């Protein structure tokens, strides 16, 4: 939604927006903050914890493997109100954000499975912070990067190193978007490869890919699509307390995130977003006599976030 402004300031903003909306824009899109402005959003978050594997089953003289899935899921909804407290000399802003809980629901599958119920209890314990009214204050730069966010906002899910989902989630929950440094050109894709090591993973591969597209509707807006992926081999000593670190297990980690954010070309504010990310650890145990193939398991934690601007 467009933010209402008064008098001459509205005229100036609209003129700037016309220039920003030109297809051949040679500058990156940046956020323009107005001190005292208020923004309201509806946020819905779904978190799913899942364990997949196999169990041996003997029928007659033969041993087979039967796949199983144990999962828990929680969906939480809240209203987020953002108030631009101050605009600094560099154009960044001090922002106060208040969360008002609306609804929360949890379930597990299979419902009668004790292990699935434990997953549900753990998930609820990690997510209960989102069921509380909460106010935080942070600084946001013109390209959407944030400083001063409390780390505990996205903590509690027991993620082992490297922590990938937690920092992603910390920003994905915010009704904002990190704007690329490249000029806004529709249909022009860019890609970045990770630099440096990602301990304790080895043989790391990954990429971040992004692209701008025209947003549907009459409002001057653009949609930013960004995907991030990272994979690596996990050493057996990476987390001795985890079931995945059993003797003889070969472990592999992966992270994948996908985000569609529709941004106003008037001021760079977020209009809507659909974001998702998943962190998975998979492992294959040593061959077991009597089984046709080595047992394979996977533990996955995934999060989806939907954000809509409210009038």
pLDDT for the residue 237: 59
pLDDT for the residue 211: 97
pLDDT for the residue 249: 65
Residue from 39, 45, 173 nearest 103 by CA: 45
Under 8 Å between Cβ of 184 and 28: yes
pLDDT range class, residue 229, cuts 50, 70, 90:
very high
pLDDT for the residue 258: 98
**Tokens found for residue 207:** 């990429």
Tens digit of each residue's pLDDT (9 = 90 or more) over 4-14: 333 333 333 33
pLDDT for the residue 25: 57
Tens digit of each residue's pLDDT (9 = 90 or more) over 152-208: 777 778 888 999 999 999 999 999 999 999 899 999 999 999 878 899 999 999 999
pLDDT for the residue 93: 98
- pLDDT at residue 247 greater than cutoff 50: no
Instruction: Using alpha carbons only, give the angle 260, 264, 265 rounded to the nearest 5 degrees.
Output: 120
pLDDT for the residue 151: 81
Three-state SS at 204: strand
CB within 8 Å of 42: residues ≥ 6 apart: 77, 78, 79, 80, 102, 307, 308, 310
Tens digit of each residue's pLDDT (9 = 90 or more) over 284-302: 887 777 677 788 899 999 9
| Percentage of the chain exceeding pLDDT 90 | 68
- pLDDT at residue 30 greater than cutoff 50: yes
Rounded to an integer, the average pLDDT of 50-61 is 83
Tens digit of each residue's pLDDT (9 = 90 or more) over 69-102: 999 999 999 999 999 999 999 999 999 999 999 9
Sign of the C-alpha dihedral, residues 131, 137, 142, 145? negative
Is the pLDDT higher at 244 or at 60? Answer: 60
The rounded distance, in Å, linking the Cα atoms of 94 and 288 is 59
pLDDT for the residue 227: 98
Rounded to an integer, the average pLDDT of 111-131 is 92
CB within 8 Å of 106: residues ≥ 6 apart: 72, 73, 74, 75, 120, 123, 124
């Amino acid at each position: 939604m467009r933010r209402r402004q008064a008098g001459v300031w509205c005229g100036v903003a609209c003129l700037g927006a016309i220039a920003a909306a030109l297809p051949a824009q040679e500058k990156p899109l940046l956020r323009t903050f107005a001190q005292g402005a208020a923004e309201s959003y509806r946020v819905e978050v779904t978190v799913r914890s899942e364990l997949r594997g196999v169990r041996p089953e003997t029928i007659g003289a033969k041993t087979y493997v039967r796949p199983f899935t144990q999962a828990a899921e929680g969906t939480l909804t809240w209203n987020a109100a953002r108030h631009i407290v101050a605009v600094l000399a560099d154009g960044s802003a001090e922002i106060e954000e208040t969360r008002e809980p609306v609804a929360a629901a949890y379930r597990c599958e299979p419902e009668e499975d004790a292990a699935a119920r434990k997953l549900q209890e753990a998930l609820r314990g990690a997510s209960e912070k989102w069921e509380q009214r909460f106010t935080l204050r942070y600084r946001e730069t013109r390209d959407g990067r944030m400083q001063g966010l409390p780390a505990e906002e996205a903590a509690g899910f027991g993620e082992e190193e490297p922590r990938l989902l937690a920092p992603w989630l910390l920003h994905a929950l915010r009704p904002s978007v990190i704007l690329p440094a490249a000029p806004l050109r529709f249909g022009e894709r860019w890609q970045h490869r990770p630099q440096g090591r990602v301990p304790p993973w080895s043989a790391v591969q990954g990429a971040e890919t992004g692209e701008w597209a025209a947003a549907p509707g009459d409002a001057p807006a653009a949609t930013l699509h960004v995907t991030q992926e990272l994979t690596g081999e996990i050493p057996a000593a990476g987390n001795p307390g985890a079931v995945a670190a059993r003797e003889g297990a070969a472990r592999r980690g992966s992270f994948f995130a996908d985000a569609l954010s529709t941004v106003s070309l008037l001021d760079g504010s977020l209009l809507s977003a659909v974001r998702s990310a998943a962190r998975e650890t998979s492992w294959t145990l040593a061959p077991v006599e009597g089984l046709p193939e080595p047992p394979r398991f996977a533990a996955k934690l995934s999060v989806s976030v939907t954000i809509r601007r409210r009038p």
